[in-house]
């Protein structure tokens, strides 16, 4: 059987990417309307943080549970993703009935748990359709997550005069549509991975695999930076002197552009990785994004063109490497535990985001927003070191058909 992608593979990639875009709109649906929710429930600073962190924590719990019980390597993937997306839509919609901030935070946590059943299985499923071109295919998938995450900011920018409930209801409706696509139209490809049997001890094989461990370490450094930048760029842009004359809708549009530029970054990163190698591509992207984390504070007071340019470059490069860590895991991991390995990688990675999402506003409260993002730069540096070490392992020859 040829390892070249077929027309059916490209059609399935479009369907999967579309379904992920739809499903992930619930992720930042509350973050995008945080100012309105703060007024609605008189949220404290800590409560505001947990309106975002709740999804992260829920995702961590869900992903590690999937990993422990080997569900992505046992359950039918389309059924797992369809049910999970439907639950995410329901939990998000219940925000409309939440009587208090405490209930809303619990619902955000449950939304994160549900989304853990969408993201890791989707990455495994797309890998069953692609051997050659896997970097681009997974880049498109992460690009879908990026667009879905950015979409609530666009809704808020376009419909600034509408009630916050409109954003919540729209995000839930789109996620429900994504569930329908998973259930009705998605199927596994011609390059399936081996099936696992339930055994909680299998996670030990994932942890002991040296190449997977280094791919994970690179991903962890990347994740230290990613969600803290996404989650707090709205607050950062709102506090920047250069945006003082901009309306809330214009600032939301800027945040949407910053996050959504990652879609292009993911596609470009995938194309480059399939040609020059995954470890080299991730090193380049982490060097660029880490530099942007340091430089964005320089443009805090203007000029506007510099602020926007750094923001867009940061948005494009900060997520451009993400898919390649997952692609590496599918190539160097044990074939019967790919779903488990991906869920473990994502679970621990998102656990780190809770720390960085908490640290950034604490630093901002102490020194101001201008240099708060500088704390994110050590993450990409750690990732670069991990990739340099991975390149030296013999297992690296299995990455991207030898283009490590």
pLDDT at 197 over 60: no
Burial class (CB in 10 A: 0-12, 13-18, 19+), 2: exposed
* Mean pLDDT to the nearest integer, 252-256: 90
Residue 55 has pLDDT above 80, yes or no: yes
The ranges assigned to domains in the chain are: 7-402
With residues binned 3-state (H G I as helix, E B as strand, rest as coil), the percentages for the chain, rounded to 5, are 80, 0, 20
pLDDT (0 to 100) of residue 318: 96
Which of 153-167, 229-243, 276-290 is the least confident region?
A: 153-167
**Residue 314 in this model has a pLDDT that exceeds 60:** yes
Residue found under tokens 């666009």: 154
- pLDDT of res. 199: 57
**Whole-number Cα distances in Å, 100 to 26, 167, 168, 380:** 19, 18, 16, 38
337 or 293, greater pLDDT: 293
For the chain, the straight-line distance linking the first and the last C-alpha, in angstroms and rounded, comes to 23
Q: State how far the Cα of 172 lies from the Cα of 195, in Å rounded to an integer.
A: 33
Judge whether residue 82 has pLDDT over 80: yes
Q: What is the per-residue pLDDT for 53? A: 78
CA distance 195 to 71: 10
pLDDT at site 201: 63
Whole-number pLDDT of residue 195: 62
Quick check: 69 pLDDT over 90? no
Sign of CA dihedral 149, 29, 156, 94: positive
Give pLDDT, residue 49.
Answer: 77
Let me know: does 182 contact 56? Beta carbons within 8 Å: no
pLDDT band at 161 (very low <50, low <70, confident <90, very high): low
| pLDDT over 80 at 403, yes or no | no
Say if residue 387 is exposed, middle or buried (CB neighbours under 10 Å; 0-12, 13-18, 19+): buried
CATH of domain 7-402: 1.20.1250.20
Across all residues in the chain, what is the average pLDDT? 88
Does the pLDDT value for residue 165 go beyond 80?
yes
The 10s digit of each residue's pLDDT in 211-236 is 999 999 999 999 999 989 998 999 99
């Amino acid at each position: 059987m040829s390892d070249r992608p077929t027309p059916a593979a490209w059609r399935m990639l479009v369907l999967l990417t579309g379904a992920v875009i739809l499903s992930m709109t619930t992720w930042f649906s509350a973050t995008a309307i945080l100012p309105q929710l703060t007024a609605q429930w008189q949220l404290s600073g800590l409560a505001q943080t947990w309106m975002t962190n709740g999804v992260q924590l829920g995702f961590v719990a869900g992903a590690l549970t999937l990993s422990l019980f080997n569900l992505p390597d046992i359950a039918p993937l389309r059924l797992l993703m369809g049910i999970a997306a439907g639950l995410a839509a329901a939990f998000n919609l219940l925000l409309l009935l939440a009587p208090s901030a405490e209930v809303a935070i619990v619902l955000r946590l449950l939304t994160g748990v549900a989304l853990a059943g969408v993201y890791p299985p989707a990455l495994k499923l797309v890998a069953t359709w692609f051997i050659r071109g896997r970097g681009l295919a997974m880049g498109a998938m992460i690009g879908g997550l990026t667009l879905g995450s950015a979409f609530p900011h666009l809704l808020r920018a376009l419909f600034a005069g509408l009630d916050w409930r409109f954003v919540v209801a729209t995000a839930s409706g789109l996620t429900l549509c994504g569930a329908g696509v998973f259930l009705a139209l998605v199927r596994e490809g011609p390059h399936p991975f081996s099936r696992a049997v339930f055994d909680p001890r299998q996670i030990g094989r994932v942890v002991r695999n040296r190449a997977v461990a280094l791919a994970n370490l690179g991903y962890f450094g990347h994740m230290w930076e990613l969600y803290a930048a996404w989650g707090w760029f709205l607050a950062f842009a709102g506090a920047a002197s250069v945006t003082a004359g901009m309306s809330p809708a214009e600032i939301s549009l800027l945040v949407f552009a910053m996050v959504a530029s990652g879609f292009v970054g993911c596609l470009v990163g995938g194309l480059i990785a399939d040609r020059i190698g995954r470890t080299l591509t991730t090193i380049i992207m982490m060097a660029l994004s880490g530099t942007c984390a340091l430089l964005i504070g320089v443009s805090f007071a203007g000029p506007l063109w510099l602020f926007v340019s750094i923001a867009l470059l940061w948005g494009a490069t900060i997520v451009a490497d993400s898919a390649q860590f997952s692609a590496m895991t599918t190539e160097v991991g044990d074939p019967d535990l790919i779903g488990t390995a991906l869920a473990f990688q994502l679970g621990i990675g998102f656990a780190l985001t809770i720390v960085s999402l908490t640290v950034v506003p604490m630093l901002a409260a102490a020194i101001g927003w201008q240099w708060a993002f500088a704390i994110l730069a050590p993450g990409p540096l750690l990732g670069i070191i991990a990739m340099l070490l991975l390149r030296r392992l013999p297992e690296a020859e299995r990455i991207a058909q030898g283009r490590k």
